[in-house]
Structure 1
Amino acid sequence: MIPEGKTFDRKSARYDIGRLADILIAFANADGGTVALGIKNREYEGISLLSEQKKNDIEQIGTQRIIPSIDVAIDKKKIVNQKGKNDEIWLLSVNPADGKIYTNSRDEVYLRIGDETHKVTFEERKNLEYDKGIRVFESQAVSDAFLEDLDSDTLNQYKELYGFTGDNIWDLLFPKGLAKRVRDSNGSFSYQLSVAGVLLLAKTPTAFIPGARIRFIRYEGREAKLGTDMNVVKQVLIEGPLPKVIDRASKEVESQLRTFSSLDLKTGKFTNVPEYPKGAWLEGIVNAVTHRSYNYTGDDIRIVMFDDRLEIHSPGSLPAVVTTANIRHTHYSRNPYIARALTDFGWVREFGEGVDRIYKDMSEFFLDEPVYDVDANSVNLTLKNNIVMRSFRKNNDLESRIGSDWDSLNFIEQAAIGMAYEQGNIKTKDVLKQVENYSATSVRKALKHLTEMGILERIASAPTSPNQYYKLIK
């Protein structure tokens, strides 16, 4: 049985019709969704126990209980109920609203967040009203884009996702929000690709929506420099249908990441670790592509890599009810049709899970929490790599300075060199904190040995100075 979540709920046939309307309102104000009516305690209760009047009320729920009226599609599925009798469950579905906010008769607004129906506060409602204006952009028709402009590989993949084998591609694109139906003055209609359809499927979306691309920049060092000191190592513009853009951006980032040796202080052995957990940085890219404000046509998504951090810039502020305080567990799609399609393509995680996964993945790698810097025009995500770990990323440098002696050094000696390389200088107590289960005598002996080898230099005003420290000899 499908679990309840962002776009699905289950309710008993006897569920209060007013509260049922609130759930449909919440779905419509978010990403759309379906309520399976006639399921109680995960068992088929069925609909037949309801009176004809109650069934009629449910069928009229979109016009009688929701303001403004909304089209509620009802799919009646035949089942055998828990008593062994033929029955039905009703699947009530609504699409995401374009530029509207739906309320109940008490002028209350609801929004679906995770698997909960959330009553919107006054402040959240103001933000939602503002964001609905941005959401409309995704559904606008692009009059000068034609089927010939679509990328055949991506379109074929999209067809396969839904098992579509028909001759009229509009039959697939229109219900998914990737096309608009346009009626002329004579009453006949034709179809046009929507902004979402162009972004997802066109060969060159930037021909119609400027800024719909990713700019990848790799700098050498920890800051961007200009002029004769310019330190750009690589700069790439990534354009195309969104599924291909994400794939190419992922490959660009991965090509610049290194697998490094990190000293495991528990085992005393070096292990290979990636610079950042892939789940974290890839989720950051996918979120930017999925939720950016595409009506900000003068800006693009930027992935900027420095030695000590990875930054992902997304045009447009956080959507609606999402804030930096609740971003881990609150979800609202600014572009619901894009979000759903990228979910089906396999790029977007289960709704609401992605940002929380970034935090968890960074934590599991013992890295700093992700940093979100938000203003009125952009969301900027910064992932920092581990400074101590980075001392061992410079293996070539360490090897050139220490040579073949490195492999002959013991665990404490290797740890001390790594710390001195990154921190500049170290004290006995610093090393002792890092190497568990070793005595102060062993640490002092290791530091003395490194000094005798000419690797470390001891700095002290007196032989027994309490402020003595060690540093690498240049």
Structure 2
Amino acid sequence: MNRYCRKERANSQKMRRDEIFYYAQKTGKIRFEGQLRTDFKYPQDFDELKFNNIIKRIGITQTGEKEDIIHNLGMGQVNGKFVINNGGILFFGKNRELYLRQAYITCVLYKGKDKVKILDRKDFRDDPVTDYENTIKFLQQHLRLEYEIKDAGPRIEIPEIPYEALREGVLNAIIHRDYLEEGARVMVEIFDDRVEISNPGELLFGKEELGRKSVARNPVIFDMFFRLDLIEKVGSGINRIKNAVAQKGLKIEFQIDKFFTVIFHRPSDSLGSTFVRIKAQAQAQEAQVEIIDKLSESEIKILEICMNPASSKDILLKLGIKRSGSFKNSLTKLLKMELLNQTIPDSPSSPKQKYVTTELAKNIVNLDRKQ
């Protein structure tokens, strides 16, 4: 009979059953995903639609038996009859919570910097890929966007925390969480000053090796996300998180104990006015687009001609048309919309009268050129 002992100073102490299990679990010798589930009703509780969607996404053509594909993905095997394991239930099981109650993600938006007032909460209990996608949508919904506008060009949306870093944080939590811990789940929490992404599970190596070493606690789950082209095989997610936030000039922390937590510090409140100002610029640009939609091509051409003061005769000549009622109506319309100004406003009928585009009109002309 084998005995397992732990070293305590000069003595060896026999390990209890729970200590042996904990050690095997901590060192990755017991794999959650590979445990066969004879209680899972296959094929009744197997979701064919999820299976077909995922194998299509990873580029597998179903030419043979479905069970062969499941087996090759590491999610089931023949044990007298075909049996699905925990990994298979995670990705392809119907009513997953009946078999894996702990396998879900909770996303929470708080008011303030403490866990007191909840503004929004979502629990995602689908397959890992769908849960990941829904979690990213939750983050995008509740985090601020910065809008960069240059030379009246199209706006560029810049998230306050780089999406690349957030995606890596969520993927890391899903892939490396300890699914054997039934009393905890992946948490994504948004506070006024930070975003925390945490998962149950200690590191399988020393803290000092974080970012230099990668050990997959759940290699089957890891492999599925790799096949879906959502992660890299080299396990460089932590460094990509660090690099992405460093480029943004943000602070990040890693808390490591029984849980692994990534803390993204949001831009300080002093930047809030910047977000508001830039958002106002974006809204102004949207209003300009609405104005463009109300103008004809010839009216936009008039605005272009009048970038430098021009008389009615000059405008008609450059348009290549004769004076008409429609031309007069266009001038009146542009004046009322404050897109044109008269150089002699006190004498509208002056023979020396010229027309010049306003600053708003110049922005509209530049915007129209870029569309």
Residue 374 (structure 1) aligned with residue 260 (structure 2)? no
Contact preservation (8 Å) 1:164, 1:172: no
The 1:166–1:397 alpha-carbon spacing in structure 2 relative to 1, beyond 3 Å, is closer
Q: Secondary structure at the match of 2:208?
A: coil
- Which letter does structure 1 place at the counterpart of 2:263? T
Per the alignment, residue 234 of structure 1 pairs with 120
Contact preservation (8 Å) 2:24, 2:30: no
Unmatched runs of 5 consecutive residues or more in structure 2: 1-21, 282-371
Deviation at 1:302, TM superposition (A): 0.7
- Which letter does structure 1 place at the counterpart of 2:78? R
- Which letter does structure 2 place at the counterpart of 1:249? T
Deviation at 1:396, TM superposition (A): 10
Per the alignment, residue 55 of structure 2 pairs with 159
RMSD: 2.7
Contact preservation (8 Å) 2:106, 2:188: yes
- Which letter does structure 1 place at the counterpart of 2:119? V
Contact preservation (8 Å) 2:28, 2:217: no
Deviation at 1:358, TM superposition (A): 0.2
- Structure 2: how far apart are the matches of 1:397 and 1:244? 31
Contact preservation (8 Å) 1:212, 1:239: yes
Q: Secondary structure at the match of 2:100?
A: coil
Per the alignment, residue 198 of structure 1 pairs with 89
- 4+ residue runs over 4 A deviation: 127-130, 261-264, 394-399
- Structure 2: how far apart are the matches of 1:198 and 1:271? 41
Contact preservation (8 Å) 2:147, 2:275: yes
Contact preservation (8 Å) 1:142, 1:195: yes
| 1:388-407 alignment, distance < 5 Å | 388-395=270-277
User: Aligned residue pairs: how many?
Assistant: 253
- Structure 1: how far apart are the matches of 2:201 and 2:29? 10
The 1:164–1:135 alpha-carbon spacing in structure 2 relative to 1, beyond 3 Å, is farther
The 1:173–1:310 alpha-carbon spacing in structure 2 relative to 1, beyond 3 Å, is same
- Structure 2: how far apart are the matches of 1:147 and 1:193? 9
The 1:325–1:244 alpha-carbon spacing in structure 2 relative to 1, beyond 3 Å, is same
Task: Pick 1 or 2: higher relative contact order, CA cutoff 8 A, min separation 6.
Answer: 2
- Structure 2: how far apart are the matches of 1:397 and 1:251? 20
Per the alignment, residue 179 of structure 1 pairs with 76
Unmatched runs of 5 consecutive residues or more in structure 1: 1-126, 183-188, 226-230, 265-269, 400-474
Per the alignment, residue 111 of structure 2 pairs with 220
TM-score when normalising by structure 2: 0.62
Deviation at 1:130, TM superposition (A): 4.9
Residue 276 (structure 1) aligned with residue 161 (structure 2)? yes
Deviation at 1:167, TM superposition (A): 4.9
- Which letter does structure 2 place at the counterpart of 1:384? H
Q: Secondary structure at the match of 2:260?
A: strand
Which protein has the bigger helix share?
2
Deviation at 1:326, TM superposition (A): 2.1
Q: Secondary structure at the match of 2:132?
A: helix
- Which letter does structure 2 place at the counterpart of 1:366? G
TM-score when normalising by structure 1: 0.49
- Structure 1: how far apart are the matches of 2:272 and 2:219? 39
- Structure 1: how far apart are the matches of 2:256 and 2:95? 29
The 1:326–1:249 alpha-carbon spacing in structure 2 relative to 1, beyond 3 Å, is same
| 1:50-129 alignment, distance < 5 Å | none
Per the alignment, residue 137 of structure 2 pairs with 251
Contact preservation (8 Å) 2:31, 2:217: no
- Structure 2: how far apart are the matches of 1:273 and 1:233? 24
Contact preservation (8 Å) 2:26, 2:202: no
Residue 361 (structure 1) aligned with residue 256 (structure 2)? no
Q: State the identity %.
A: 21
The one of 265, 272, 287 aligned to 1:384? 265
The one of 233, 241, 255 aligned to 1:350? 233
Deviation at 1:336, TM superposition (A): 0.3
Deviation at 1:316, TM superposition (A): 1.3
- Structure 2: how far apart are the matches of 1:144 and 1:166? 28
Q: Deviations over 1:143-201 (max 9, x none)?
A: 1222332333321133322433235211111122100331xxxxxx2111111111122
The 1:329–1:314 alpha-carbon spacing in structure 2 relative to 1, beyond 3 Å, is same
The 1:295–1:203 alpha-carbon spacing in structure 2 relative to 1, beyond 3 Å, is same
Deviation at 1:325, TM superposition (A): 2.3
- Structure 2: how far apart are the matches of 1:398 and 1:165? 52
Bigger mean CA offset, 136-145 vs 356-365: 136-145
- Structure 2: how far apart are the matches of 1:148 and 1:128? 36
